[in-house]
Structures are given as C-alpha cells and as structure tokens.
Chain A
Amino acid sequence: AQTVTQSQPEMSVQEAETVTLSCTYDTSESDYYLFWYKQPPSRQMILVIRQEAYKQQNATENRFSVNFQKAAKSFSLKISDSQLGDAAMYFCAYSFDDMRFGAGTRLTVKP
C-alpha cells in the first residue's frame, strides 16, 4: 500500500525567511500525482501546489516551489519569503487510484 511520510511534525520559520517541509512516499507506480495542501485554523483544505510524476520540471506557484526527486521518492515544499498567513498545517498527498495523505507538518511563522 502506498504510504506518505512527513517526518517533521512541527516547523518554525521567521517572517520573510525560507523554510522547507519534507515528504517521502512509497510506491511501485511510475505515473502518479503529488500534492501539497494547506490547512489553516479554519480547517479548510486548500491546494498549494501539484506535481505530475512524469514531469521532471519542479512545480512552482509564486512563493511556493517543490523539489521533486522521483528516484528518491521525495517531494519537499519550499516556502520563500514566509508570511504570517502561511502559518498552518501542511499535508503532503500522493494520488494514483486514490489519495493518501501524510500526517502533516505544523508550520509556525514568527514575526
């Protein structure tokens, strides 16, 4: 069964600094999708970024970018110029025939 591991239960970053959240996954498939979702205190799950496994180019969305290492089965999220509004739980997810989520990383942004 596919599993998703987020090894950092909590992370902290200073406002305007850069932080990287880690994610690894286990799969025998070659064509799948990876996602990072943000869950603020409101509990609403919001898509941050999406990566297609067959694309070698790393996805970027404004201040958010990923480092996708397919051979290593690693999918880390980099947040640049961190803002107070980035404080939230971040979930990594793997999708092939269904979506599997990691346990999440709680990000704190210090002013």
Chain B
Amino acid sequence: NAGVTQTPKFRILKIGQSMTLQCTQDMNHNYMYWYRQDPGMGLKLIYYSVGAGITDKGEVPNGYNVSRSTTEDFPLRLELAAPSQTSVYFCASSPGQYQETQYFGPGTRLLVL
C-alpha cells in the first residue's frame, strides 16, 4: 500500500518559473491537504480539498493554486515562483476532516533562486 506519494522529491526553480507538485493517495480518502514547512517552523496549511471538485484556501494560499478532479490526485500549482516559496511541501490525506489522523507524503523540497 503506497499511501500518499509526492513527486518530485526535489526541484530547483528560477524566479518567475512555474511548476506543479504532484500528490496521489490510494487510500480513497475524501480529504486532502497541502502544507509548507519553512526551516525551523511547523507546517502551515496552503489549500485543502474535501472531495473531487471542491477546494478551499488554508492559512497561506497566496501564490498557489490547486485542483481536484479525482479522489486520488491533488496537484499544487506555483505560477510565478518567488524566493519566498522556497520550502518543503507536504501533501496529506485523511478519511474525514479535523478529527481524523492525517497521513503525510514524504515531501517535496523546492528551492527558488
């Protein structure tokens, strides 16, 4: 059972470039989340989804976009990369919302230069 998978593991972007971080889960979870973790800090919620076709903003959504066309996939899009977006990005999923344990992917390390 793969759980939550993320690609790529590491990426270097130039300022102004765009990219999509991929996230897939095989647990048939309705809820999916994107977090960022800055050095020495905890995770902050970027966007979340309660099911296919439904997404909502989290604490730090600026500079990002998401879509959820299937239960399994929840890609995160960076349109115009900025140095402030240098971070480690985690995708997570859960069967239900706040009361449920979230299962995390291994993370994507992004460096914007």
Contact = CB atoms under 8 A, between A and B. Distances in A.
A97 B97 contact: yes
B48 interface: yes
A98 B58 contact: yes
Contacts of B53: none
Contacts, number: 52
A99 B45 contact: yes
29 contacts: A4-B42, A32-B98, A33-B99, A35-B101, A42-B106, A43-B88, A43-B106, A44-B104, A45-B43, A45-B92, A46-B104, A47-B102, A50-B101, A52-B99, A91-B42, A93-B42, A95-B98, A95-B99, A98-B45, A98-B58, A99-B33, A99-B43, A99-B102, A100-B45, A102-B42, A103-B40, A103-B42, A104-B41, A104-B42
Interface residues of A, number: 24
Contact of B41 (A44, A45, A103): A103
Q: How large is the interface on B (under 10, 10 to 19, 20 to 34, 35 or more residues)?
A: 20 to 34
Interface of A: 4, 32-33, 35, 42-47, 50, 52, 91, 93, 95-104
